[in-house]
Structure formats: structure tokens, C-alpha cells
Amino acid sequence: MKEYAVSKIKNIAFAGHNGSGKTSLAEALLYKAGASDRLGKTADGTTVCDYDPEEIKRSISISTSLASFEYNDYKVNLLDTPGLFDFAAEMIEGIRASDTVMITVSAKSGVKVGARKAYDEAVKQGKSKMFVVTKIDDKDANFFNVLTELKTVFGPTVCPVVVPVISNGQIVSYVNLIEMKAYKYDGKGNAVEIDMPTAEISEKFEYRIEGLIAAVSEAVAETSDELMEKFFEGEAFTQKELIDGIHDGMNKGIITPVVCTSATELAGIDMLLKEIELLLPAPNEVAVAVAETPSGDAVEVACEAADPMSAYIFKTIADPFVGKMSFIRVMSGTLKANSDVFNSKTGSNEKVGKLYSLCGKKQTEISSASAGDIVAASKITANTGDTLCDASRPVIFAPMEFPHPCYSMAVKAKAQGDEAKISSSMQRITEEDPTLTYIQDENTKEQILSGLGEQHLEVAAAKLKGKFGADVNLTVPKIAYKETIRKKVKVEGKHKKQSGGHGQYGHVWIEFEPCVSDELVFEEKVFGGAVPKNYFPAVQKGLEDSVKKGVLAGCPVVGLKAILVDGSYHPVDSSEMAFKTAASLAYKEGLRQADPVMLEPIGELNVTAPDENTGDIMGELNKRRGRVLGMEPAGNGNTVITAEVPMREMHDFAMYLRQTTRGMGSFTFEFLRYEQLPANLLADVIASVGTEE
């Protein structure tokens, strides 16, 4: 693949709701542009972009894939992102590397949450946007209803560019409102120009065409004072003025074109390729990227091939055979294969080996990539979010913002001895996906895998087995309960054993009382040498070993102060071991008498959800024994609810929130403190902790 000038590159991310046709649209574009020799199907697992075994098995996109192709002397880099919320990080990465986000909306099901999330992320990252109404050939499709819904949800920037002509429920032709031409497609996606439709072909269509042309003209008029003047004078815009106006309007974020296609019939795909060429901004036309110097000063990095090299790693793939594969967006200059670059994030030098242009899993080795291009490099040590640059101009590009993991499961090896393999493999999988974490719980000693949902963790476990040969079970994590006491007691501990020769003798009186401390607080107030000083450490050690298990459910004991006040000893039979045992006997008896209670961990919950769902969520939190502390408006029709909720009640909250808010809600949950467990739950907790042991 030859090297392209910055103005001849188009970087596009496909985003939208799961099942809205992103991968099928990418497949149709690749086939129509001649980059693939057959039209694959997601159901058959034969598409260019969904090539991972898990994607083929599940018939869904799991990770963002790159498919680059050449068309009319342009290089187009397509980034096909998943629509499932569990894989939100992939969408964020894909949008970061793109200049335009094409948001797919099914003509059958209309605007779903995934389209809103993609639009919001595109706005947040300052990208131009285009809506592609897919599945237009479906018998239940209704393009004009969807167009109205798009305008209602996303506002007046929505501007139709390609619309269908429908008669008796069938698509007769497609009208390009920029060219003012109508096209009919055969079964192979070949277009033939036909006469523009009249009112006889489709009821009220003449009115619609006039209204649609007016909408396009009005949108274009907003892009410059000259065009606005011409619009008010009633003059029609030329084709070039329309193209330039939409192009500029997309770049400024004031026009969001709408086109329609059928990926299965290949209808409208040729027009979409033409629009990619004419309407979408090139990398050097979008807002100049801002980076930081090592000293923290902001600096603009223009997308110019002649400038010093800088590049951003927006995605990493862990492969046990190829090694780490890094997806790189070249921000300025030229990135060359087999070159040394500076990693400004880590402050170390990096050796770039081979560079590849990707089309799904097909790799084409290239010698260099210039500003604006997207390529992959294998076996470099840098991670997602790192900046590679020329040592003469070190810069750091801002990191991506990812959602926090909110759903956790405990990981247990199916085969003994696999723990080390699982740990090293998980490290590589979490490098690949920034929304996954894998840590050991300090209290329960379980290995905890956290992500964005049930399917997210299932896929991670499947990758662990498929790629690295480590088979695991995912189970509900244990809750780190603790025990404490509520009253002061004084108890005796006596260990006396006589067998042939030396016996064993240890005798202590210990006062136990509540205190504020996670560790055992030990004091001695022994008078007159009743217990010799050299046995004090043994008594303390006996108690420290004992507090690891309480008397109710065997959980660690906190908030305990022990004061050694009296005892006795035998000059021959006493030993450190005897006093250690005596202390543990006193501990067991003392805790039983001191009104022991169970403590459960409480966390602070911050839920961001649409205003209309706040009542349901607050009701649910009450059911989960939560205490709502307050509500604050968060803008965009959302509210933040702050509450304190027991961790025991929160395992499946992520699933509940997603279902209730249709995926629009999010939350953070962090440990706050321990509180006494209600008495009515004590038997259940003791039983559950007993079965976990």
C-alpha cells in the first residue's frame, strides 16, 4: 500500500447500538471498494471485521477492528466498534483514532441508547458525525419516521442527504439531495440513474422532496455569511456549494448528514463511498490536536508530514503467537519501520519493528506511515494511551477516559497449578482492555476480575482459555465480613497438662474491651510478677493468632483491646507455648461473653441516571438496605444519586441499573466503612461464610 498525503486520508469509526448493522455496513463498503472479494455475513462468521473466534461464535463485535482500503486515490481507515455496553472501551478507542463517527441507526428499530451514547462520545471528543440509516430494505423499515426521530433526539443539525423513494411499501429508488438525482439499484448494488420521482410515484413525495431540499439548504446556509445571504435572497445553491457547505458544517459540528443504505442489497453503498470522499474531513482539516510538553505546557501538534513525528497508541491486542499488537494513530511527521522512538509517557526509548496496514486480520507490511494514518506495530512494549514521538520534540497526548469497572467475579482455576499461568495471562488481557482489572482482595484473598458486565467477564474468561490455555470458573465473590465485641469482660485462661517428665502450665487473666482499631491492641497491667515479663510476648502472640478467627463465623476480629491483668506460672512446667495456649483459651471464652457481633462492609454509591429513572432507583436502593444521602442534577437530563449501601447487596446492581435505564445509567461504588450486620441476617451470613470455607 502506497503512502498517502494527509489530505487523501479518511479516518472513520462506525459506532451505534448493538445489531444496528455496523459490521455489515463495513463489509459492504469493503466489497464495493474492491478491498474484499466476497460479501461476508455476521451470522455466518465470514465478515472481514469480526474475525476473532469469540466474535464468530457469538455473532457480535467484541473488539474494535481496523479495515483499511483504497478508493479513488484515497486511503480510508474504517474502525468497526462494538455496540454492546460491556465493550464501551472499544468504542471510545475507535472514536479517539477517527476524525468522523458514522453512527448506524436501524430503519426498523430507530434511535436506540447505543446511538445516543455514540453521539455523546463523538461530541465529547470533538469529532464530526454522520448518521447512516441501515436495513432500509427491511419490510418493517420506516426511513422518514427514523429521520423525524433523529431530528427530535439530536436537534436541528440533522440534515438528510440520501433518502429513499417508497411506493406501496417498496423502495423504488434513492434520491441524492446534493446531486438532485435519483438512482435505482439492481441486486448486485449497481446504480442506474432514473428520472426524479413525481407525486404519482409516492404519495406526497413532491412535498417531501421540497421540504428535504429546503432542510439541506438551510443547514448549508448556517456554515457561512455568504451562503446565508444567498439563501435569504432565494437563490439555489450549486452542487459545489452544497458539498463544501456540508463538509465545513460537519467539521464545525453544525451539520450531521443522514444517508440510507442496504448492506445486504448493496443499495446506496456507492453513494456512501462518494460521500466519504467529498463530505468527510481529512485529518489536517479537523481541530489541531493539543498535547503537553514534559514540563506540563500545552502545545498544538499540527497534522503535518514535515513536522517531527508524534503518534498515539489507542488500542492494544494481546496475542500469544504474534505478541502484543499496538494500533497507532500517527499525529504528525512520519513513523518508520525499524526505527527508534521516544515514549514520552514512560520516558524510555522504544524500538519499532515492523509496521502493518490492516484489513481485518489481513496484514500488509509497510515501510512507513505518515501524519493522519492509522497502522499497527507488533512487539513493542508501549501500552494503550502512550505517546511515541521524536526525541527532538517530546509531547504527551491526553489519555482516554474510560468507564470504571462495576461488575466483579472471583476467578478460580479449574486445574491445580494453573494460578501462575492465569496471573500472567490476565496481565496481558488487562493491558488489552483498560476497563478490566484483576486484583487480589486483601481480606478474602480471592482473585477478583472486574469489568463492565456479565458478558464482558465471560468473554475475558473465554479469551483466557482460547488464547492462553487457562481454564477458570467465575463465582460470586465472598464478602469480607468481620467480627467485634460490644462489652467489656474479664476472663481466665488456664492451660495445665501433666505427662511424663515436664508438664505444661500457663495461666492468665485477661480483660477484653471494645476499641477503635483494625489491629489487636495489647496491654499488660500485671503486678508482683504473677506472670513473668518474658511470657508477655507469648500471650500477645497467642492473641494475635486468635483474632484471625472470631467465634460467630470465623471472620477476622477488629476493634478489640486485650489487657493482661493477672495469672500465675510454674517455675518448671511454664513455657511460651503454654502461655500462648492459655491466651487463646481466654480469647475464646472472653469473646463469647463480650456480646460478639458481625460487621459488614458498607460502600459509597454514586449513581448517574436519567431523571425519569430516579424514583425506581431510590426504591431499589431502599430494598437493598441503602441509605440515600442526596440527589444533584448532572445536566443532560441526568441526576446523580449518592447513597451508602452494604456491599452484600451490590453484586448484581450493574445488571439492574443497565436494565432499568436501558444502558444510560452508570455508577461508582467504593468501600467506606464497616457497620454492624442486622440481627435478622446473622444466621444467613454465618451459614454462607461456613459454606465458603
Residue 445 maps to which CATH number?
Answer: 3.30.70.870
pLDDT in tens, 327-373: 999 999 999 999 999 999 998 999 998 999 999 989 999 999 999 99
pLDDT band at 108 (very low <50, low <70, confident <90, very high): very high
Indicate whether 612 pLDDT > 80. yes
353 and 297 in contact (C-beta within 8 Å)?
no
Residue 501 has pLDDT above 70, yes or no: no
590 and 613 both lie in a single domain: no
Domain end (from 255, 278, 301) = 278
> Do 139 and 265 reside in the same domain of the chain?
yes
Query: For the chain, percent helix, then strand, then coil, each to nearest 5?
Result: 30, 35, 35
Most confident of 73-82, 173-182, 567-576: 73-82
Q: What is the distance between the alpha carbons of residues 329 and 488, in angstroms, rounded to a whole number? A: 66
The three-class DSSP label of residue 386 is coil
pLDDT confidence tier of residue 469, bands split at 50, 70 and 90: confident
My answer on whether 589 and 642 are in the same domain is: no
d(CA 659, CA 6): 44
Please state which of the ranges 20-29, 149-158, 195-204 shows the lowest mean pLDDT: 195-204
- Largest Cα separation within the chain, whole Å, is 118
Residues 621 and 663 grouped into a single domain: yes
CATH number of the domain residue 330 falls in: 2.40.30.10
Residue 475 located in a structural domain:
no
> Do 391 and 446 share a structural domain?
no
**Per-residue pLDDT band at 199 (split at 50, 70, 90):** low
Residues 529 and 433 in one domain: no
Within-domain flag for 472:
no
Number of C-beta neighbours around residue 290 at 10 A: 12
Q: What's the mean pLDDT in 610-633?
A: 95
Give the Cα separation of 332 and 372 in Å (integer). Answer: 7
All three cell numbers of 435: 476497563
Q: How far is residue 539 from each of residues 198, 470, 533, 620, measured CA to CA in Å?
A: 99, 45, 10, 49
User: How confident is the model over 77-85, as a mean pLDDT?
Assistant: 94
Question: Do 449 and 535 sit in the same domain of this protein?
Answer: no
In a domain, 102, yes or no: yes
Query: Binning pLDDT at 50, 70 and 90, where does residue 216 land?
Result: confident
- Whether 129 and 101 have beta carbons less than 8 Å apart is answered as yes
> C-alpha grid cell for residue 452?
463492565
Residue 610 has pLDDT above 60, yes or no: yes
Residue listed under C-alpha cell 442506474: 192
Check whether residue 265 and residue 154 sit in a common domain: yes
Tell me which residue has cell 466476497: 38
Q: Are residues 265 and 382 in the same domain?
A: no
Digit-coded pLDDT (tens) for 257-294: 999 999 988 999 999 999 999 999 999 999 999 999 98
For the cut 80, the answer to whether the pLDDT of residue 1 exceeds it is no
Q: Is the separation of the CB atoms in 92 and 400 below 8 Å?
A: yes
452 and 493 inside one domain = no
Do 313 and 420 sit in the same domain of this protein? Answer: no
Measured at the CA of 36, the angle between CA 30 and CA 41, to 5 degrees, comes to 75
Q: Give the global pTM.
A: 0.88
Q: Report the percent of the chain where pLDDT is more than 90.
A: 67
Q: What is the CATH number of the domain that holds 567?
A: 3.30.230.10
Q: Average pLDDT in the 587-614 region?
A: 94
Using the 3D structure, point to which of 577, 594, 611 is the last residue of a domain: 594
Q: Residue 458: pLDDT band by 50, 70, 90 thresholds?
A: very high
Average confidence (pLDDT) over 299-306: 94
Report the C-alpha dihedral over residues 589, 592, 593, 599, rounded to 10 degrees. 140
DSSP bridge pairs for 398: none
In angstroms, the CA 65 to CA 77 distance is 10
The answer on pLDDT for 515 being more than 70 is yes
CA separation for the pair 578, 575 (Å, rounded)? 5
- Residue 453 in any domain: the answer is yes
Give the CATH number for residue 180.
Answer: 3.40.50.300
- What nine digits make up the cell of 15? 459506532
Q: Which of 246, 248, 268 is nearest to 257 (CA)?
A: 246
Q: Are residues 590 and 606 in the same domain?
A: no
Residue 475 DSSP SS3: strand
- The reply to whether 632 falls in a domain is yes
Give the containing element (helix H, strand E) for 131.
strand 128-134
HSE of 414 in the Cβ direction (CA atoms, 13 Å)? Answer: 9
Cα–Cα dist 268/273, whole Å: 9
Asked whether residue 470 is domain-assigned, the answer is no
What local confidence, expressed as pLDDT, does residue 200 receive?
60
Grid cell of 388 as nine digits: 511515541
Q: Determine phi and psi for 85, rounding to 5 degrees.
A: -65, -25
The label of the residue with cell 431523571 reads: 611
Residue of 281, 257, 248, 287 lying closest to 11 (CA atoms): 281
Confidence of residue 18 (pLDDT cuts 50, 70, 90): very high
What pairs with residue 628 in β-bridges?
643
Output the pLDDT for position 57.
87
With respect to residue 688, please indicate whether it lies within any of the assigned structural domains.
yes
Q: What is the dihedral of CA 685, 686, 689, 693, to 10 degrees?
A: -170
Supply the range of the domain harboring residue 567.
Answer: 483-594
List the one residue out of 125, 9, 122, 15 whose CA is nearest residue 74: 9
At residue 526 the predicted structure's pLDDT band, cuts being 50, 70 and 90, is confident
Q: In this model, does residue 204 exceed pLDDT 80?
A: no
Is the separation of the CB atoms in 586 and 493 below 8 Å? yes
Strand stretches in 221-308, DSSP E: 256-260, 289-292, 298-301
How many structural domains compose the chain? 5
Q: How confident is the model at residue 414 (pLDDT cuts 50, 70, 90)?
A: confident
Q: Mean pLDDT, to the nearest integer, of 488-514?
A: 88
Q: What is the pLDDT of residues 378-411, one digit of tens each?
A: 889 899 999 999 999 999 999 999 999 989 999 9
In a domain, 402, yes or no: no
